[in-house]
């Protein structure tokens, strides 16, 4: 098989959380462009735009409406079972859904802490567990977590987000150690400063925005489409010997 053919995802099924917009939508469409059918899990009742883009590429789209904050472990197990029933298999899981709450650490509320940890970490583990059981039974699979620059750094005014994304990096390595012998690759993408809803307050602040741009060697905010190449690579046979990696897609931010 040629190297370009190894990047193809024909006949595979990917489950992407937070697929209705932003990074999740771009990664779902990127995986479909490489040949995969897509299941999109989102708290939004429908993902019409993502569905339309995937189906326009000639691939199936299965929508799962679920609020990860309220989801139980049983709910996550059922979601994975629904994907397998609807699309026939599950080869790729992209744990993209996440939230952020900004406040000084001295004033941070229990609710803000618990909600961020529930979605950004708890749901990631238990959805990975459910998908991992399916992948282990078939002897192959790819789990791709979405980490962050704050998996490496402390950040400002985001203690629960930093804690959750640092934990996602550690969890990625831990699962890779256990599941590599089962044929499952577990890796993560660490997006840099991307133009999404989560960063809207930063981009609207001229001082913070300028400080961020001045540090990014490429000189611009990232766009959701900038993650397509990374997610397709990690989901493909081209990355078959990549386990436990945290891949920065950051315009050179960490290099500074």
pLDDT at 8: 98
Q: Is pLDDT of 47 > 90? A: no
What's phi and psi for 189, nearest 5 deg? -105, 135
**What's the confidence (pLDDT) of residue 53?**
98
Q: Which of 161, 193, 233, 241 is catalytic?
A: 161
For 188-232, the pLDDT digits (tens) are: 999 999 998 888 888 999 998 999 999 999 999 999 999 999 999
CA-based R_g, the chain, Å: 17
What is the rounded average pLDDT of the residues 83-112?
A: 98
Is the sign of the CA dihedral 240, 242, 243, 249 positive or negative? negative
The reported pLDDT for the residue numbered 197 is: 84
Per-residue confidence band for 237, with pLDDT thresholds at 50, 70 and 90: very high
Q: Given this model, what pLDDT does residue 67 score?
A: 97
Whether the model clears a pTM of 0.95, i.e. scores above it, the answer is yes
What tokens were used for 184?
């499952």
Among 11-15, 85-89, 120-124, 211-215, whose mean pLDDT is lowest?
A: 211-215
Q: Count of H helices and E strands in the chain?
A: 10, 7
Per-residue pLDDT at 103 exceeds 80: yes
As a whole number of angstroms, the distance between CA 123 and CA 252 comes to: 30
Residues 56 and 65: their CA atoms lie apart, in Å, by 21
Give me the residue spans of the domains in the chain. Answer: 3-195+224-249
Helix (H) or strand (E) holding 27: helix 22-33
pLDDT of 16: 98
pLDDT value, residue 243: 98
Q: Output the pLDDT for position 200.
A: 87
Pick the CATH number of 3-195+224-249 from 1.10.1740.110, 3.40.50.720, 3.40.50.360, 3.30.70.20: 3.40.50.720
Percent of the chain with pLDDT over 70: 100
Share in percent of the chain as helix, strand, coil (round to 5): 55, 15, 30
Instruction: Give me 256's structure tokens.
Output: 């500074």
Asked if 161 is an active-site residue, the reply is yes
In the sheet that holds 246-249, the strands lie side by side as 61-65, 37-42, 13-17, 92-95, 141-146, 184-191, 246-249
Instruction: Report whether pLDDT(46) > 80.
Output: no
Mean pLDDT of the chain: 97
Q: Are the beta carbons of 255 and 57 closer than 8 angstroms?
A: no
């Amino acid at each position: 098989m040629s190297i370009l053919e190894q990047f193809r995802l024909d006949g595979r099924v990917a489950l992407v959380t937070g697929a209705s917009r932003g990074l999740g939508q771009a990664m779902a469409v990127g995986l479909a462009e490489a040949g995969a059918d897509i299941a999109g899990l989102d708290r939004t009742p429908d993902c019409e735009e993502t569905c339309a883009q995937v189906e326009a590429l000639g691939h199936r789209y299965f929508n799962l409406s679920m609020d990860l904050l309220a989801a139980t472990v049983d709910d996550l197990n059922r979601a994975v079972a629904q994907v397998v029933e609807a699309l026939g298999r599950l080869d790729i899981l992209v744990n993209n859904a996440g939230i952020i709450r900004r406040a000084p650490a001295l004033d941070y509320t229990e609710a803000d802490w618990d909600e961020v940890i529930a979605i950004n970490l708890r749901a990631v583990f238990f959805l990975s567990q459910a998908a991992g059981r399916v992948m282990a039974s078939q002897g192959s699979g790819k789990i791709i977590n979405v980490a962050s620059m704050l998996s490496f750094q402390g950040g400002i005014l985001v203690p629960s987000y930093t804690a959750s994304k640092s934990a996602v990096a550690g969890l990625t390595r831990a699962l890779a150690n256990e599941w590599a012998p089962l044929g499952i690759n577990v890796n993560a993408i660490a997006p840099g400063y991307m133009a999404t809803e989560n960063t809207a307050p930063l981009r609207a602040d001229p001082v913070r925005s300028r400080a961020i741009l001045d540090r990014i060697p490429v000189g611009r905010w990232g766009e959701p489409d900038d993650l397509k190449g990374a997610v397709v690579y990690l989901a493909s046979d081209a990355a078959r010997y990549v386990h436990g990696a945290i891949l920065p897609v950051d315009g050179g931010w960490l290099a500074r």
